[in-house]
Chain A
Amino acid sequence: MSTASQVSATAGASAAGSPVTPRGPHHEPSAWQRFRGKFDAKVVPYVLISPFFILFAVFGIFPLVYNGVVSFRRWNLKYPADDGWAGFANYSKLFSDGLFQNALINTFGIFLLSTIPQLLLALIVASLLNRKLRGQTMFRVGVLVPFITPVVASSLVFAYVFSKNYGLANAILGLFGVETTAAGTTFNGIDWRGTWWASWLAISIMVNWKWVGYNALLYLAAMQSIPKDVYEAAALDGASPWQQLWRITVPMIRPMVIFTVVLSTIGGLQLFTEPMLFGDTPDANGGSLRQWQTVGQLIYQTGWVNLNLGYAAAMSWALFIIIVVIAGFNAFLTSRIGEGSKR
């Protein structure tokens, strides 16, 4: 910085001191200036991006690749002497692993129960927000409260709300006369951790709660970029607001719907924190019979409870492939549904 100002200062002084040889604005640059200009154009851009790319390469891209390498190795922190190449052993084990299949089924069950209501509710909230509204900012900020609430904190609340004996949910269900009799005892409400479907439902409620507002704002952003004359042209047949939403608005924001479907597929299939805190043990078992153990939890359990890093790496790769396939399939499906309603 200082050298730059010095150079220009001396140049200015010499020009002022020798009026006999006036130099135009395009005076010959000195060797140093030329070097500096070249350096600035050729090297500086890379200097500016290098902190990002160095960190990004070491902690972002390299782990992705290295994870693949690890998945082909025996890498168990309990038996370090046993380390070595495993070939496809981790993967072939995966195909016949009942625990992995169970975790996959749980993950998909929770994913379906949480994604579909989540996006439908988000569409409705977005269309409610997409009006001339008093207190507009307050409502938009308000729907983000679940998004900023730490997921550990909110999951803990729900874990207690869905407790069998002292939970708020069962107390309320009890007021409506919902009772369960199991093993000779009768209690209000449902045993939320006792069955597959009840635990899936409880966890899905946590996920839905957290993401409806966020997705609603994404939809709102898309809705506000729809040209207004689309509505003027299409409303001649006297469509109700509800019909307007499904016939005009939703088809018009289809790219955003596809985007959110992909986003919630990526997030939903990696679900970890909610099921983790729904159980009260740190072993990531997801219930005594693994009723709600997700793949995310199983990877954690395999890698950091059982210390089998090689197998955990293979699971991560399998999960990644599954996410890519499902996200692609969902995007395709959504675009087809959108086309259907357009016709």
Chain B
Amino acid sequence: MSAPVRDQAPPSQEPKQNKPAMLSRSPQDTPAGWFNYVFLVATLLVGFFPVWWMFIVSTGDDTMLAKIPPQITPGDNFWTNFNIVMGNIPDGTQSYEYAHFGASFMYSAIVTVVITASTLFFCSLAGFAFAKLKFKGRDQLMVVVILTLTIPNQLGVVALYIIIARFGWQGQLTALIVPALVSAFGVFYMRQYILDALPDEIVESARMDGASTFRIFLTMCLPVIRPALGVLGLLTAVGAWNEFQWALIALGPGTENPTVGVALSKLASAQYPRPRISLAGSLLATIPLLVLLAVAGKQIVRGVMEGAIKS
């Protein structure tokens, strides 16, 4: 709309600019005003508040939370609380070794790494097949994948528990890992990405040259889907690290090999819960994810925004 107006009015003629001034720009082209920055900074501060509060409380002693007005500067007990939550030293007479918090980091790391690696491999394989290969029942199977995306996972949880109990996996990390080795979202996301990223002609000409399907996947598909693998890997890892409900059910509250989330909940339901201890643990549990967000925030943002557009 604005183009023809500009063509008719040379830049020297001032009065004619009346009309373009009435045309407003789209929000994306409108420079942000000061209130945009103020509100957005406020949003970030609110979002960051719990992490900051974890830090403040975990540096304090037992009198800290009782102070009025509240203390908002860090104390100097962080290392003491850190050692208590890791089970290295007792807190007075109370030891927190029973929560296995230190070991829970290793368990959560194992679960997260295995789930992420397997999701990336199997979901990109299946996504490639759905996007670029022709086979009987392909579209029907894809519909099944998409339908299950919308089914709340809590629906199957009792039956899933019975299944893993049959396998004898209660209380073991296997119970957390195996059911999460693949995800419907992963297949869906990889399929959408591969549809656009890998041209059909390349696949066809590689096939003419006698390349097998698996070779095409390895040498042509994998290199071009690396950005998508990064995004899916990050989202999967965040989800696996933060999973709580199924971990609590499958491991049981008395477990000896808890994930970080289950260990934290054990700290919190102690007979005399100590905020400085459980929040020291919360801070430690959050730090890996903050590092991930700092390093790969751009890709995570992309994943959230793209995932939304594609579905």
Contacts and interface: CB of A to CB of B under 8 A. Distances in A.
Given A40-B213, A42-B135, A277 B265 contact: yes
Given A64-B156, A144-B300, A58 B163 contact: yes
Given A152-B260, A323-B152, 12 more contacts: A49-B129, A52-B187, A131-B36, A142-B43, A148-B293, A152-B261, A157-B282, A259-B311, A273-B245, A299-B157, A304-B161, A316-B155
8 contacts: A48-B217, A49-B126, A55-B182, A171-B69, A232-B26, A259-B311, A270-B152, A272-B244
Interface string B81-110: 000000000000000000000000000000
Interface of B: 1-2, 22-33, 36-37, 39-40, 43-44, 46-48, 50-51, 53-54, 57, 65-66, 68-70, 122-123, 125-126, 128-130, 133-135, 138, 141, 144-145, 148, 150-152, 154-163, 178-179, 181-182, 184, 187, 210-215, 217, 238, 241-242, 244-245, 248-249, 252-253, 260-261, 264-265, 268-269, 273, 275, 278-279, 281-283, 285-286, 289-290, 292-293, 297-298, 300-301, 304-306, 308-309, 311
A229 B309 contact: no
Nearest to A236: B22
B21 to A, nearest CB: 11
Interface of A: 1, 4, 8, 36, 40, 42, 44-46, 48-49, 51-53, 55-56, 58-67, 69-70, 124-125, 127-134, 137, 139-154, 156-161, 163, 165-168, 171-172, 174-175, 188, 209, 212-214, 217-218, 220-226, 228-233, 235-236, 238-239, 241, 244, 249, 256, 259, 262, 266, 269-270, 272-273, 276-277, 280-282, 296, 299-300, 303-304, 309, 312-313, 316-317, 319-320, 323
B26 A231 contact: yes
Of A51, A56, A167, A239, most buried by chain B (CB within 10 Å of CB) is A56
A160 B150 CA distance: 34
Contact of B122 (A52, A65, A167, A300): A52
Contacts, number: 349
A53 B141 contact: yes
B128 A48 contact: yes
B24 A232 contact: yes
Contacts of B245: 272-273, 296, 300
Given A40-B212, A213-B43, A313-B158, A160 B36 contact: no
A76 B43 CA distance: 48
Contact of A228 (B26, B152, B154, B248): B26
Contact of A44 (B51, B151, B213): B213
A139 B162 CA distance: 44
Contact of A148 (B43, B150, B292): B292
B289 A156 contact: no
Nearest to B50: A157
B4 to A, nearest CB: 12
B39 A128 contact: yes
Contacts of B160: 59, 63
A130 to B, nearest CB: 5
For the complex of A and B, 7 pairs with smallest distance between CB atoms: A63-B156, A235-B24, A141-B297, A153-B282, A59-B179, A221-B305, A63-B159
B70 to A, nearest CB: 4
Contacts of A137: 297-298, 301
B285 A150 contact: yes
B135 A45 contact: yes
B159 A70 contact: yes
Contacts of A281: 269
Contacts of B238: 147-148
B59 to A, nearest CB: 14
B275 A132 contact: no
A44 B212 contact: yes
B94 to A, nearest CB: 16
A42 B136 CA distance: 9
B266 to A, nearest CB: 8
Given A48-B129, A51-B182, A259-B311, A139 B212 contact: no
A158 B33 CA distance: 33
B265 to A, nearest CB: 6
B301 A132 contact: no
A44 B214 contact: yes
A130 B40 CA distance: 11
Nearest to B241: A150
Nearest to B128: A48
Given A66-B159, A152-B265, A144 B304 contact: yes
A141 B300 contact: yes
Of B187, B273, B293, B301, most buried by chain A (CB within 10 Å of CB) is B301
Contacts of A312: 158
Contact of A232 (B1, B70, B134, B179): B1
